[in-house]
């Protein structure tokens, strides 16, 4: 792995992390420092371990061995996975489910967030009948209401049309403006260049390369990254 000596105001440090599933190693990270003070993106082939890394950072799963520490001691994160089910109730009730974890969230905050994400006109519509893009915005609205320090997003615009993709990207930018840092996964390299400040490249469960977006695209340091960029750019 290259680019391991950078300094960040806030960061996540992984040491000797192993995550297994059915006896197979999903993540193997001897040591990595990942910034938590900017918009960071995890990229890599399907099955590389990107979603597992997000779940690990969120605390949704624990490593089989090793440790994860945060420079601030504690971090409040919100994880939005690619497929989040809706209950058979209205959009408003679905977004209000965050009150189960934080009863201090008031009705006016929910109204303001629904306006922010553009779903006020669908407040009384059945959430399970929303489009893919509307569901994603609902999930992002839940994350906003949690007031996290760190937002973790798994493929936030996968299978969305260009207009909805643009709207979701703007919500991601708003997280940063409102004081929440973001780590997301994406296969859309143009999106990565639009949104991210920093890249973590994962391949076969290992962090092979990381660093600022510009140098990564202009001069990747590993053969794995060069191969991935070539394949994705050809596919586009």
Residue 64's SS3 state is coil
Facing residues of 85 across strands?
A: none
Confidence at residue 236, expressed as pLDDT on a 0 to 100 scale: 52
Distance between CA atoms of 26 and 44, rounded to whole angstroms?
13
Q: Could you give the strand order of the β-sheet that contains 65-70, starting from the edge strand earlier in sequence?
A: 24-35, 11-21, 65-70
Q: Six-digit token pair at 226? A: 């060069």
Confidence at residue 231, expressed as pLDDT on a 0 to 100 scale: 81
Confidence at residue 176, expressed as pLDDT on a 0 to 100 scale: 86
Four-way CATH pick for 11-235: 3.40.50.300, 3.40.50.450, 3.30.1950.10, 2.30.30.230: 3.40.50.300
Number of H helices, E strands in the chain: 8, 9
Confidence at residue 18, expressed as pLDDT on a 0 to 100 scale: 97
Are 49 and 205 a contacting pair, CB within 8 Å? yes
Terminal Cα-to-Cα distance of the chain (whole angstroms): 27
- Is the pTM higher than 0.85? The answer reads yes
pLDDT by 10s per residue, the chain, length 236:
544 446 788 899 999 999 998 889 999 999 999 998 899 999 999 999 999 999 999 999 999 999 999 998 888 999 998 777 889 999 999 999 999 988 899 999 999 999 999 999 999 999 989 999 999 999 999 999 999 999 999 999 998 999 999 999 999 999 988 888 999 999 899 999 999 999 999 999 999 999 999 999 999 999 999 999 988 765 55
b/e 120-141 (16+ beta carbons within 10 angstroms → b): eebeeeebeebeebbbbbbbbb
In 3D, which of 223, 178, 175 has the Cα closest to residue 195?
175
The count of C-alpha atoms lying within 13 angstroms of the C-alpha of 153, restricted to the half-sphere facing its C-beta, is 33
Are 176 and 39 a contacting pair, CB within 8 Å? yes
> What residue segments make up the domains of the chain, in order of their start?
11-235
Task: Locate the DSSP E strands across the chain.
Answer: 11-21, 24-35, 39-43, 65-70, 77-80, 150-154, 181-185, 198-203, 206-212
Give the position of tokens 């493929």. 155
């Amino acid at each position: 792995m290259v680019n391991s000596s950078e300094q960040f105001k806030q960061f996540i440090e992984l040491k000797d992390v192993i995550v297994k599933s059915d006896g197979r190693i999903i993540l193997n990270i001897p040591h990595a420092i990942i910034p938590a003070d900017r918009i960071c993106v995890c990229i890599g082939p399907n099955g590389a371990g990107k979603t597992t890394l997000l779940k690990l950072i969120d605390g949704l799963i624990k490593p089989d061995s090793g440790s994860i520490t945060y420079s601030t001691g504690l971090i409040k994160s919100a994880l939005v996975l690619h497929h989040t089910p809706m209950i058979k109730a209205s959009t408003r009730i679905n977004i209000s489910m965050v009150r189960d974890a934080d009863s201090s969230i008031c009705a006016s905050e929910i109204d303001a967030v629904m306006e922010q994400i553009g779903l006020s006109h669908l407040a009384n519509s059945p959430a399970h009948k929303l489009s893919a893009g509307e569901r994603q915005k609902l999930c992002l609205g839940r994350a906003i209401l949690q007031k996290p320090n760190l937002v973790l997003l798994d493929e936030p615009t996968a299978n969305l049309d260009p207009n909805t993709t643009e709207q979701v990207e703007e919500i991601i930018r708003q997280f940063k403006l409102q004081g929440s840092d973001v780590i997301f996964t994406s296969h859309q390299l143009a999106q990565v260049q639009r949104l991210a400040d920093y890249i973590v490249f994962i391949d076969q469960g290992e962090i092979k390369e990381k660093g600022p977006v510009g140098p990564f695209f202009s001069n990747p340091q590993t053969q794995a990254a060069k191969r991935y960029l070539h394949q994705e750019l050809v596919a586009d």
